[in-house]
Amino acid sequence: MTREEIFGKVRTILVDALAVDEDEVTLDSVLTKDLGAESIDFLDIVFKLEQAFGIKIPQGDLFPDNVAQDPEYVKDGKVTPKGVATLKARMPHVDFAGWESNPEIGKVAELFTVRSLVSFVEAKVAAK
């Protein structure tokens, strides 16, 4: 399956899950900020990705949980260097370049773009 085919399926899933127009879903679209995704939507997106691509996505694999609650990873509203390293290790599908210079915990959600979903699915499909 090509990256373009994966993107097409991911776009269809997001249009359905988030009730957005197809032209709103670009590779650079941020799931929360641009497409209006909320935490409950992430569960639906994960389920739909599993069904569409025949993959299993363990809890916390695509969208890591419990990072914000760990004082080793967050201090004074910023993700600590150890937290950044942990996020990068757990989310190789995410581009941290712009965020890493000012790793505010409140902006972690902005790391989840359509491109990161496509990269995640691409790696999962390749590993099947």
Q: How would you label 37-71 residue by residue, b for 16+ Cβ within 10 Å and e otherwise?
A: beeebbeebbebbeeebeeebeeeebbbeebeeee
Query: Measured between alpha carbons, how far is 12 from 7 in angstroms, rounded to an integer?
Result: 9
Confidence of residue 3 (pLDDT cuts 50, 70, 90): very high
* Encoded tokens for 60: 């916390």
pLDDT at 63: 81
Find, among 43, 54, 45, the residue nearest to 17 by Cα: 45
Tell me, what's the pLDDT at 84?
93
pLDDT at 94 over 90: yes
pLDDT at 70: 84
Sorted by where each starts, the structural domains of the chain and their CATH numbers stand as 1-62+112-128 (1.10.1200.10), 64-111 (no CATH)
pTM of the complete model: 0.90
Give the tens place of pLDDT for each residue, 7-66: 999 999 999 999 999 999 999 999 999 999 998 999 999 999 999 999 999 988 888 777
The three-point CA angle 32-37-39 to 5° equals 100
- Per residue in 99-121, pLDDT tens? 999 999 989 889 999 999 999 99
